[in-house]
Amino acid sequence: MSDQYSVLGKAPGTEDLKKLSSPGNTHLTINKLNAGYGKMEILHNFDLFVNTAQSLCLIGPNGAGKSTILHSIYGFTNIFSGKIEIEGKEITKLTPAEKLKSVGIAYILQDNSVFPDMTVEENLLMGGYIKDKTEESFEEAEKILQKYERLRNRRNQPAKVLSGGERRLLEISRALVMKPSVLLVDEPSIGLEPKYIEMVFEILGDLQKNEKKTIILVEQNAKKGLEFADIGYVLVSGQIAIAGKGDELLSNPDVGRLFLGG
Ligand SMILES: Nc1ncnc2c1ncn2[C@@H]1O[C@H](COP(=O)(O)OP(=O)(O)OP(=O)(O)O)[C@@H](O)[C@H]1O
Ligand SMILES: [Mg+2]
């Protein structure tokens, strides 16, 4: 694969990436991150800039390190050097629990993660297991059930009866119980039929625009991801090869040829 990318010219630098997210209030930044698993470095000198209520989509081939970026933000990787900040406060070394509880970062897993034998409502409440006050979880779960009819209609039924799309909605909603300000979403459309893919992106769009959530997502469906996101980064071998506004990348011939099947 690697020689295909050599035609792309110079990779974007830190200043280019900063410019892409502006103007706006910087929410989350990654500076010169080197991170991986065990002793193996997967991300090399990786930078990321995203503003409050902005969405950023990571695309790239399998194994490029897209999920590793979300893992690093959430605290699942070994960070060798570099810095992650939220509203100017360094969070690089916080544990996932601290990130969820004190700085409002929620991570929605790539794999199916609902508890099939628990009811929809119980699944939602699990999202707040880490909260000090359980009443708050009940209140948030209730708000979510009021908002999403599909979940409300099934609140007392086991999650295993949900359709694929409803299950994805439950996974996203469960993360919302903690009232996060940043959502890390890995492959929201994976395994879903087109009508559910639309639904999931509508929900993410609502969370971004109406609830001012900052969204960093990984999407194998590059077209959908770039149509949705304000900013796109193309990741190749743990480094950014191309970055641009989502719509610019959609019309970029290199991106089209490599990722949009055009
Ligand atoms: N828990 C882990 N331990 C060790 N290596 C890992 C772990 N998770 C991922 N890797 C390795 O890190 C590299 C990047 O993987 P990552 O999951 O970030 O890729 P990705 O871009 O999300 O790919 P995909 O599109 O297939 O989901 C791969 O070489 C993978 O084998
Ligand atoms: Mg992945």
Percentages helix, strand, coil for the chain, rounded to the nearest 5?
40, 25, 35
Task: State yes or no: pLDDT of 256 exceeds 60.
Answer: yes
- Residue 8 pLDDT more than 60? no
Average pLDDT over residues 206-219: 96
Ligand with an atom nearest the CA of residue 63: 1
Residue ID of nearest Cα to ligand 1 atom 17: 67
Q: What is the C-alpha to C-alpha distance for residues 239 and 183, in angstroms, rounded to an integer?
A: 22
Q: Which ligand is nearest to the CA of 65?
A: 1
**pLDDT tens digit sequence for 242-253:** 999 999 999 999
pLDDT over 70, % of the chain:
95
What count of other Cβ atoms lies within 10 Å of the Cβ of residue 40? 8
User: What is the average pLDDT score of the chain?
Assistant: 91
Which pLDDT does position 132 carry in this prediction? 75
Strand ranges inside the chain, DSSP E = 26-37, 40-51, 55-59, 78-86, 89-90, 105-108, 182-186, 214-218, 231-236, 239-245
Q: Please state the rounded mean pLDDT for residues 32-55.
A: 98
Which of 62, 219, 220 to mutate to test ligand 1, by most ligand atoms within 8 A of the CB atom? 62
Over residues 197-207, the pLDDT tens digits come to: 999 999 999 99
Distance of CA 227 to the CA centre of its chain: 15
Q: In this structure, which residue's CA is closest to atom 3 in ligand 1?
A: 37
Q: Does the pLDDT at position 61 exceed 80?
A: yes
Locus of tokens 């070994």: 78
| pLDDT of 4 higher than 90 | no
Q: Cα(148)–Cα(146) distance, rounded to whole angstroms?
A: 6
Task: Give the per-residue pLDDT at 110.
Answer: 64
Number of domains into which the chain is organized: 1
Q: Could you tell me if 130 and 97 are in contact, meaning their C-beta atoms sit under 8 angstroms apart?
A: yes
Please give the share of the chain, as a percent, with pLDDT higher than 90: 79
Could you list the residue range(s) of the whole structural domain that residue 10 is in? 2-259
Whichever domain contains 142, its CATH number is: 3.40.50.300
pLDDT of residue 45: 96
The confidence band for 111, taking pLDDT boundaries of 50, 70 and 90, is low
Give residue 64 CA to ligand 1 midpoint distance, Å: 7
Per-residue confidence (pLDDT) for residue 128, from 0 to 100 = 87
Q: Separation of 209 CA from ligand 1 center, angstroms? A: 31
**Which residue has the least CA distance to atom 4 on ligand 1?**
37
CA gyration radius, the chain: 18
